[in-house]
């Protein structure tokens, strides 16, 4: 069975009360979650995302963003973050 992979999440910004987002194993190259400030859990592993700024998602407790193309990951202000898996990326630093 062939499953189509998602390459764009345009419109996700309208789901401002979204608490869990699972968009793993797709063809996403970018992910703007700046309007999704209620997010608690994000699973975006196994994509092609290069930059991820989660600094406005201050409710996040879990982020799985491994196996992407990340060169930049901004976690500034995420005091509630308990679990982060960001291996298999191209990060040279982590905020």
Q: What confidence tens digit (pLDDT) does each residue in 30-68 have?
A: 999 999 999 999 999 999 999 999 999 999 999 999 999
Q: Full-prediction pTM beyond 0.85?
A: yes
Q: Is the pLDDT of residue 4 over 90?
A: no
Q: Compute the distance between CA of residue 91 and CA of residue 93 in angstroms, rounded to an integer.
A: 6
Domain borders along the chain are 21-95
Share of the chain above pLDDT 70, in %: 96
Q: What confidence tens digit (pLDDT) does each residue in 16-25 have?
A: 999 999 999 9
Q: Compute the distance between CA of residue 14 and CA of residue 72 in angstroms, rounded to an integer.
A: 25
Yes or no: say if 16 and 36 are a contact pair by the CB < 8 Å rule.
Answer: yes
């Amino acid at each position: 069975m062939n499953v189509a992979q998602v390459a764009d999440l345009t419109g996700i910004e309208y789901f401002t009360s979204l608490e869990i987002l699972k968009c793993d194993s797709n063809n996403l190259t970018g992910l703007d979650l700046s309007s999704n400030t209620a997010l608690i859990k994000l699973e975006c592993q196994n994509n092609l995302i290069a930059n991820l700024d989660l600094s406005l998602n201050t409710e996040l407790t879990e982020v799985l963003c491994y196996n992407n193309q990340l060169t930049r990951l901004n976690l500034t202000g995420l005091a509630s973050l308990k679990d982060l898996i960001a291996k298999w990326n191209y990060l040279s630093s982590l905020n």
